[in-house]
Structure 1
Amino acid sequence: MRVLIVDDEKHVREGIKLLGEWERNGVTEIYEAANGEEAIGLIQTFRPQIIFSDMKMPKMDGTLLLEWIKENQPTSKTIVVTGYDDYYYMRKAIHFGSLDYLLKPVDPEILNLTLEKAVKEWKKEEADRERKASSAQLINEMKPVYRDRKLTQLITSESIEEDLYEEFGFLPSLHYTVALVRINRMASMALNGDRDLAYFTILNIINELLLENECGIGFRYLASKGEIVIIFWNQFERMEELLAQIYKTIKQVIHVFCPIAIGKAIDKRTKLMDSYQHAKQVLLNGNLLEQTESRVYRQDILPGETLKSLMSYSSDIELAVQANEIGAFEELIEQITGDYTENHYLSLKQLLHFENEYLVISHQWYKKYDISIKAVEEIERRIDGFFDKNGTFLLDDYIKRIKQEISFFLKRVKQKASQKNSNVIVEIEKYLQANFDRDVKLQEISNHFYISREYISRKFKQEFNINISDYIVNIRMERAKTLLKNSEMKIYDIANMIGYQDDKYFRKVFKKVVGVTPNEYRAN
């Protein structure tokens, strides 16, 4: 804590400094002033919590100083110290809120009791101030949330509480029009990823202009993600001009485009949802490929748009996947792009529909090839990064992303096929080891594993650097060597056990592979 001692007599200031139990009361800084003028300068700089002040001083006396403190530093606790036991000074001290009145010479015990009392009262009042400030901050933070919730209900519900909505500044009128502002992820990214700050900033821009023109109110529409709704009840003839100004200001402030659509005019508050739905369709129908400085859309009559379906290309997609080359998709992608952007027009509705079907088809193919897939982003999040600063959709960049995703899928398919083939050859090896004692034909292996004889023969040789017939001979010879060393079995019995009916043929093969006859091997 900080203490200021104000007295024109230096020895008085020194005496108070000497007698005070400062450390015990948490006082860490003590300042001195010889008159009121000096005191004001120190108060403005250091904001002391406790102030001891004489009443009779040159330039500015204690009375004027107390009055200034009450007006400019009311949280400080003041203690009057004077050599005069005068009711006039006592009354002035009480009038300006002084905690106590001490007479010179100052009694040490009374001084420290007064100091302790002042410190306790200041701490108690400071705790109250902090609690009130915290409560006020919470209320201020909750006000926009409460407003957004209630005004969202105004759109979605037919029940109207007249007084409740007027407290937000919503004014009754004979006519209304809803405008819809789309807030994408780029808006929050422009403000360090703080989505709430993005809404707060944009709503401040909107409502400042609406309030200035006394024509409407904007709020965060909680029933649908990424939307701000504006309700106009006046200035309908200037509505497009005002919305264009809002669009331009938002772009200047956070450097992000936020398209705006205007709904149809209505004559009742209970029809606000109709105007909102109209505005949403206008927004979804806006041409994303159009080059324009301002994206404020208005369509009094909505067109009957038929959405194109990616599902109609299913057979072509299947053929391209089977080819397992990105080149097989090039012509198909070009065809789909031309179909979807006919007359250089692509709506947000069509783009979202394409993304949805594209993800469905992708998942089906990933599932078919048993390939794991990472969690997919929300559809709107996937397209948000493909707009330039003016809101024009970057079609070429988007197609490039699609091709990269398809290339990645095809690569995984090839890897999966390679792993599968390798696993099959390992299984064939196990099959041969289990059946080495009989004559296993290549056709039998082909039938067992549903793979062509040519493929088996080729892949086995690549994997083990030996053909299948020689591999079987090696297994048999290793088994024969074990039996010859660890048993008294006859040579012809060993030959029969490992798959040879003719022991002479066995002896011939054994000598060729091992380098010695079976008898010589056993003798060694």
Structure 2
Amino acid sequence: MKVLIVDDEKHVREGIKLLGEWEQNGITEIFEAGNGEEAIQLIQTHKPQIIFSDMKMPKMDGTLLMEWIKANLPASKTIVVTGYDDYHYMRKAIHFGSMDYLLKPVDPEILNHTLETAVKEWKKEEADRMRKASSAQLINEMKPVYRDRKLTQLINSDIIEEDLYKEFGFHLSQNYTVALVRINHKAIVAFQGGRDLAYFTILNIINELLLENECGIGFRYLASKGEIVVIFWNQFERITDFLAQIYQTVKNVIHISCPIAIGKLVDKSSKLIDSYQHAKQVLLNSNLLENAESRVYRQDELPVVMLKSLMAYSSNIELAVQAGEIGAFEELIEQIAFDYTENHYLSFKQLIHFENEYLVISNQWFKKYDIPIKVADDIEKRIDGFFDKNGTFQLEDYKERMKREITLFLKKVKQKSSQKNSNVISEIEKYLQSNFDRDVKLQEISDHFYISREYISRKFKQEFNVNISDYIVKIRMARAKSLLKNSQLKIYEIANMIGYQDDKYFRKVFKKVVGVTPNEYREVNMNKK
């Protein structure tokens, strides 16, 4: 803490410095001034918490100094020190906020008691000031959130709390119009992902113009993602001009187009939701392919628009998937794009509808091929990346993204099919090994594994370099050799055990495969033992 001693007599200043218990009271710096003018300069520079001041001084006396302190450093604690036991000075000191009055010569005990009291009072008041400042900061930080919440409730409510909304600058009127500003993902990215900062900046631009013209208020609409709502209660004939100015200013600041739609005029606050919904439909009907200088939209009458459905192309999509090549999709994508952008018109509503159906169909195909599905991003976030800085939708870039996604899907399908085919052939091999002792037909295998005979025959030959019938003979001969080596079974018994009812045919096959007869093979192996 800092102390300033003001007196035109140096010995008085020295005496106070000598008598004061400064360290015990947390005083680290002491400054001196010979009159009020010098004191003001020191106060402006160092802002002392405790000030001892004489009342009668040249140039500027204690009365004028205390008046200046009260106006410019009211938090400080002043203590008057004078040689005049005069009620006039005491009254002046009290009037300008002095906390005590000391007579010269100064009594050390009284001085230090007064100093201790002044320090305690300053610390207590400073703690209160800090609490209030902290509370005020919190209120200021929360006020926009509170305003947004209450005005969002107003849009969706039949009841208006007049006093509450006056606090935010909302005016009661005979008529209202709602405008809707869309804040897309690119606008948030422009602020390095700072969503609150993006809304704060854009709302500052909006409300500065509205406040200047006393015609409305803007706020973040919490009931729907990515929206700012503006309520107009005055100057309805100038709304389009105001919003055009807001649109251009926002675009100049963040270099992103934030389209705006104007709702219909309503005659009471309970109908604000009707004006909002009208504005939303206007925005959803706006043409994304139009290269417009300003994107402020107004439609007094909403047209009835039939949305095209991607489901109508399901059979074509299935054929393209079965083809397994992106080339099969390219013509289909071009056809869909042509159908959806008839007369060079593509509405925001149609694009969102398409994106939703596209994800539904994609997920169905992913599930069909048992491919892990990545959870889709927010629909509008997927779309937002395809608008240029003027707000025009880049259809060609959007089609390229679809082709990349489909190409990746087809690649995964091929990988999955390859793994599945390899697994099936392994299962067929196990099936043959378990049933080698009977006559297994190709049709039986086809029925068991739900795969065509031609496919089984071709893939088995590719995998094992022999056809299925030869593979069965190979298993049987291996089993026969094992039995001939390690048992006293008769030849016809071995033949029956491995699937041959005719032992003569068995002998013939064995000699052809092994090069010797079963008896010769047994004799050779018995001799080895």
Deviation at 1:251, TM superposition (A): 1.4
| Cα distance, 1:442–1:271 mapped onto 2, change above 3 Å | closer
TM superposition shift of 1:83: 5.9
2:419 is equivalent to residue 419 of structure 1 = yes
Structure 1 residue identity aligned to 2:179: A
| Aligned 1:123-134 pairs, distance under 5 A | 123-134=123-134
Query: What's the counterpart of residue 139 of structure 1?
Result: 139
User: Unpaired runs of 5+ in structure 1?
Assistant: none
| In 1: Cα distance, 2:174 partner to 2:315 partner | 56
**Over aligned residue pairs, what C-alpha RMSD do you find?**
3.5
Verify the 8 A CA contact 1:177 1:275 in the aligned structure 2.
Answer: yes
Task: Tell me by how many angstroms 1:38 deviates.
Answer: 4.1
- TM value normalised by structure 2: 0.85
Q: What's 1:67 paired with?
A: 67
For 1:45, the equivalent position in structure 2 comes to 45
> Percent of aligned pairs with the same residue?
79
- How much has 1:12 moved relative to structure 2? 6.0
Return the letter of the residue paired with 1:402.
M
- Equivalent residue for 2:99? 99
Residues 491 and 503, structure 1, Cα contact 8 Å, conserved in 2: no
SS in 2 for 1:445: helix
Q: In 2, Cα distance between the equivalents of 1:417 and 1:335? A: 29
Alpha-carbon distance in structure 1 between the residues aligned to 2:471 and 2:13: 108
Q: CA deviation at 1:194?
A: 2.6
Contact 2:446 2:452 in 1 (8 A): yes
- Report Cα offsets for 1:247-285 as digits up to 9, x if no partner: 111212232222111222333444333322222221111
Cα distance in 2, alignment partners of residues 58 and 478 from structure 1: 127
> Is residue 496–residue 503 contact of structure 1 (8 Å, CA) maintained in 2?
no
Q: Which residue does 2:198 correspond to in 1?
A: 198
Change over 3 Å in CA distance of 1:494–1:101 after alignment to 2: farther
Residue 308 of structure 2 is matched in structure 1 by: 308
Q: SS at 2:75's partner residue?
A: coil
The residue that corresponds to 1:151 in the other structure is 151
How much does 1:420 deviate? 0.9
- Report deviation, 1:519: 5.5
Deviations 1:188-235 (A, max 9, x none): 222232323322322222222122222222233333332222222322
**Is 1:187 aligned with 2:164?**
no
Q: Displacement, 1:58?
A: 5.3
Structure-2 change in CA distance of 1:79 and 1:328 (3 Å): same
| Aligned CA distance change for structure 1 residues 484 and 42 (closer, same or farther; 3 Å) | farther
Q: Quick one: distance in 2 between partners of 1:284 and 1:137?
A: 39
Compared with structure 1, are the counterparts of its residues 207 and 519 closer, same or farther at alpha carbon in structure 2 (3 Å cutoff)?
Answer: same
Are residue 117 (structure 1) and residue 97 (structure 2) matched? Answer: no
Per mean C-alpha deviation after superposition, the further-off stretch among 224-233 and 361-370 is 224-233
Q: In the TM superposition, what whole-angstrom CA distance separates every residue of 1:45-68 from its partner, at most 9, and x where no partner exists?
A: 333333444555555444443332
Q: Which amino acid in 1 is paired with 2:326? A: I
Q: Distance in 2 between matches of 1:42 and 1:488?
A: 118
- Structure 1 stretch displaced more, 244-253 or 438-447: 438-447
2:261 is paired with a residue of what secondary structure?
Answer: strand
Rounded Cα–Cα distance in structure 2 between residues aligned with 1:470 and 1:387: 63
Task: Please list the CA deviations of residues 106-162 of structure 1 after superposition, one character each: whole Å capped at 9, or x if unmatched.
Answer: 665555444433332222212211221222233333433343333334333333444
Cα 1:249–1:505 change in 2 (3 A) is: closer
Letter in 1 for 2:365: W
Following the alignment from structure 1 to structure 2, what is the Cα–Cα distance between the partners of residues 315 and 117? Answer: 90
Q: Which residue of 2 aligns with 1:295?
A: 295
Whether contact under 8 Å (1:446, 1:452) holds in the other structure is yes
Partner of 1:276: 276
Query: SS of 2:148's equivalent?
Result: helix
Structure 2 CA distance for aligned equivalents of residues 521 and 55 of structure 1: 133
Q: Distance in 1 between matches of 2:107 and 2:499?
A: 121
Contact 2:477 2:510 in 1 (8 A): no
Task: Give 2:408's aligned amino acid.
Answer: F
Mapping for residues 255-404 of structure 1, pairs under 5 Å: 255-404=255-404
1:438-449 to 2 correspondence within 5 Å?
A: 438=438, 440-449=440-449
Mark the CA change 1:463 to 1:266 in structure 2 (over 3 Å): closer, same or farther.
Answer: same
- Whether the 8 Å CA contact 1:511–1:518 is kept in 2: the answer is no
> What is the distance in 2 between the residues matched to 1:480 and 1:98?
120
Q: CA deviation at 1:439?
A: 5.3
Task: Give, in whole Å, the separation in 2 of the partners of 1:495 and 1:73.
Answer: 116
Greater shift in the superposed pair: 366-375 or 443-452: 443-452
Q: In structure 2, do the counterparts of structure 1 residues 494 and 154 end up closer, same or farther at CA, with 3 Å as the change threshold?
A: same
Amino acid in structure 1 at the alignment position of 2:265: A
- The aligned residue for residue 233 of structure 2 is 233
Task: Name which of structure 1's ranges 30-39 and 43-52 shifts more when overlaid on structure 2.
Answer: 30-39
What's the CA shift for 1:303? 2.0
Give the length in aligned residue pairs. Answer: 520
1:406 deviation in Å? 1.2
Local SS of the residue matching 1:263: strand
The 3 A distance-change label for structure 1 pair 422 and 28 is farther
CA contact (8 A) 1:507 1:517 kept: no
Larger mean CA deviation between 68-77 and 327-336 belongs to 68-77
Query: 1:519/1:207 Cα in 2 relative to 1: closer, same or farther (>3 Å)?
Result: same
Do the aligned residues in 1 keep the contact of 2:483 with 2:489 (CA within 8 Å)?
no
Moved more, 438-447 or 328-337: 438-447
CA contact (8 A) 2:85 2:103 kept: yes
User: TM-score, normalised to structure 1's length?
Assistant: 0.86
Q: State the alpha-carbon separation in 2 of the partners of residues 31 and 459 from structure 1.
A: 99
Sort the Cα spacing of 1:22 and 1:383 in 2 relative to 1 into closer, same or farther, 3 A. Answer: farther
| CA–CA distance in structure 1, aligned partners of residues 476 and 388 of structure 2 | 71
Distance 1:430 1:32, change over 3 A: farther
Secondary structure of 1:262's match?
strand
Amino acid across the alignment from 1:225: K
State the alpha-carbon separation in 1 of the partners of residues 181 and 330 from structure 2: 37
Mapped partners of 1:286, 1:457: distance in 2: 59
1:491 CA drift (Å):
8.0
**Residues 404-449 of structure 1 deviation map (CA, whole Å, 9 limit, x = unaligned):** 1111211111111111112112222332343445555555433332
Distance 1:161 1:429, change over 3 A: same
Cα distance 1:122–1:429, how it changes in 2: closer, same or farther (>3 A)?
farther
Moved more, 184-193 or 76-85: 76-85
For 1:196 and 1:432, the matched residues in 2 are separated by 67
Change (3 A) 1:181 1:90: same
1:383-424 per-residue CA deviation (whole Å, 9 max, x = no partner) reads 111111111111111111111111121111111111111211
Q: Which amino acid aligns with 1:247?
A: Y
2:310 touches 2:358 (CA, 8 Å); kept in 1? yes
Q: Tell me, in whole angstroms, the C-alpha distance in 2 between the residues paired with 1:157 and 1:509.
A: 91
Moved more, 490-499 or 442-451: 490-499
CA contact (8 A) 2:178 2:264 kept: yes
The CA deviation at 1:335 is: 0.7
Matching residue's letter, 1:137: Q
Conservation of the 8 A alpha-carbon contact between 2:484 and 2:521: no
